[in-house]
Amino acid sequence: MKLYRFLSAEDSSAFCHKVSEALSKGWELYGSPTQAFDAGTGVMRCGQAVVKDVPGKTYAPDMKLGAQ
C-alpha cells in the first residue's frame, strides 16, 4: 500500500527538519515543494508531499500517517 502525506509549516528550518525526519523514516519526496504567503499571519508557508510504500498494511482513515 502506498501512503501519502502533505507536510506544511512556516518557512523556517523547522519545516526542513520536518521533511528531513520524514525522509529518514523512509518517506520519499513526491512532486515539487510549494510556497505561499499566508496573509492572515503575515508569513510564508512551505509544503511538500511525501509518499511511502508500506507492505502488509491496509489503509484506514484513522491511521497515524506520521507513525508509519
Coil/strand/helix, residue 20: helix
Upper half-sphere CA count for residue 56 (Cβ side, 13 Å): 1
Total residues belonging to the chain: 68
pTM of the model: 0.88
Q: Say what the pLDDT of residue 57 is.
A: 79
Coil/strand/helix, residue 10: strand
pLDDT in tens, 25-67: 999 999 999 999 999 999 999 999 999 999 987 888 998 988 8
Q: Say what the pLDDT of residue 11 is.
A: 94
Coil/strand/helix, residue 11: coil
In whole angstroms, give the CA distance from residue 49 to residue 4: 7
